[in-house]
Amino acid sequence: MAKKTTKKKTTKKTAKKTGKKAASGSETAAASKDLAVFRKKIDRLDQKLVDTLNERAKLVVEVGELKRGSDTPIYAPHREAQVLQKAMDRNEGPLLDRTIEGIYREMMSGSFALERPLRIGFLGPAGSYSHQASVKQFGSSVDYEDLQLIAGVFTEVRRGHVNYGLVPIENSIGGGITESLDALAHNAGSVHVYAEAQIAIRHMLLTNCKPQDVRRIHSKPEVFAQCRNWLTTQYPNAALIPDASTSQAVKTALKENKLAIEIGADPGTAAIASELAGELYGLPVLFSNIADNPDNITRFYIISKEKALPTGDDKTSIMFATEDKSGALVEVLQAFHSEGVNLSHIDKRPSGRENWSYAFYIDALGHRDDKAMKRAIKGARLHCKDLQVLGSYPRSKRIL
């Protein structure tokens, strides 16, 4: 009897467990059914999105035909700024503004390709920060030209071999990029600053050797400046060797380490570059985020043979050399102050014409066609041997 009772109890317990499993299975089925309803709704919206995008694209094709007839630029930064701002103003969430901006930038990239193929020149090789900034600015539907020098980007834009070029102009840690400032001076009047972009920079130390074996580190000189404290602490005895670009530094490190292994020596070369460059060329990250300031941002200029129209929220970049007289620089700055024009940036470089003479670079808030800006520039010219407006362009508001 006792055994029978035990068997009955066991049967009841088993039944309860089975019931729980059935209930659990029932809940999963119900959830799947609900998910299926949402997925159908999403599928219908996806179809509407694709149809709407293609409807928009047909209008873009018609706009492209009109532009070809009037020789209007395909990429117009003032129009881009208007479209992006309207999209942000319409966004009520839950998507973030940067998500909406990313979608629109990629959509506009596709529109460029429909209107006319665009070629964008950047400081290469692929994987450089200039490459990353170019893709973030222009999207994946345009053609990119890998140029080896910043001066080469200016040259190819001036010759019309690329439609637009992208060059670094200023870093939040290291300051002005001397190669770009010099190239701006050399090409003033024939190439214009057309737009600007900002991207967050994440420096990595990449190598395929052991940390203690690193004896040489390649990168751009400006990058060494941005990582100075970290390098002094971690690798005080390593040779810091300048290279044309961060991605070229990765290629150099790979080549040197390969040669070392071939002759039976220990590899000892590293590079400071982006994680993307390491992925592209097969050099692993040894240390991540090594910049002295984690909020490391580089500002880039988009350069063009064309001039940008005003948006109401613009910058004007100007280069000048003052007269050789007491107070000349103060007088130039006073010309902008008197007109209420705010200067957001000032830099200087040796003029290259004679020792101890300098060219100054300023960014003034406003467009060259604004009345106050025109008066300020006219007043400043009175105290300058030379003054060149490098370009007026929409002010960058977000970090890409």
3-state secondary structure of 347: strand
Q: What is the value of pTM for the model shown?
A: 0.79
- Give the torsion through C-alpha atoms of 153, 151, 135, 77, to 10 deg: -70
Cβ–Cβ under 8 Å, residues 67 and 61 = no
Q: Where are the domains of the chain?
A: 88-200, 205-273, 307-394
Residue 64: its pLDDT value, please? 79
Q: How far apart are CA 9 and CA 15, in angstroms?
A: 10
The answer to whether the 205-273 and 307-394 domains have the same CATH topology is no
Residue 26: its pLDDT value, please? 52
| Backbone torsion region of residue 227, taken as left when φ is above 0, otherwise alpha when ψ lies between -120 and 50, otherwise beta | alpha
CATH of 205-273, one of 2.30.40.10, 3.30.200.20, 3.40.640.10, 3.40.190.10: 3.40.190.10
Is 307-394 a domain of CATH 3.30.70.260?
yes
Residue 27: its pLDDT value, please? 60
Residue 6: its pLDDT value, please? 44
Q: What is the pLDDT along the chain (400 residues), one digit of tens a residue?
A: 444 444 444 444 444 444 444 444 456 777 787 888 888 999 999 999 999 999 988 888 888 787 776 777 888 898 888 888 899 899 998 999 889 988 888 888 888 888 778 899 999 888 889 999 999 999 989 999 999 889 999 999 999 999 999 999 998 888 889 899 999 999 999 999 999 999 999 999 999 999 999 999 999 998 999 999 999 999 999 999 999 889 999 999 999 999 999 999 999 999 999 999 999 999 999 999 999 988 889 999 999 999 999 999 999 999 999 998 899 999 999 999 999 999 999 998 887 666 667 899 999 999 999 999 999 999 999 999 999 999 999 999 888 8
Is 88-200 a domain of CATH 3.40.190.10?
yes
Q: Which helix (H) or strand (E) holds 155?
A: helix 150-159
Residue 311: its pLDDT value, please? 93
109, two tokens = 């990239």
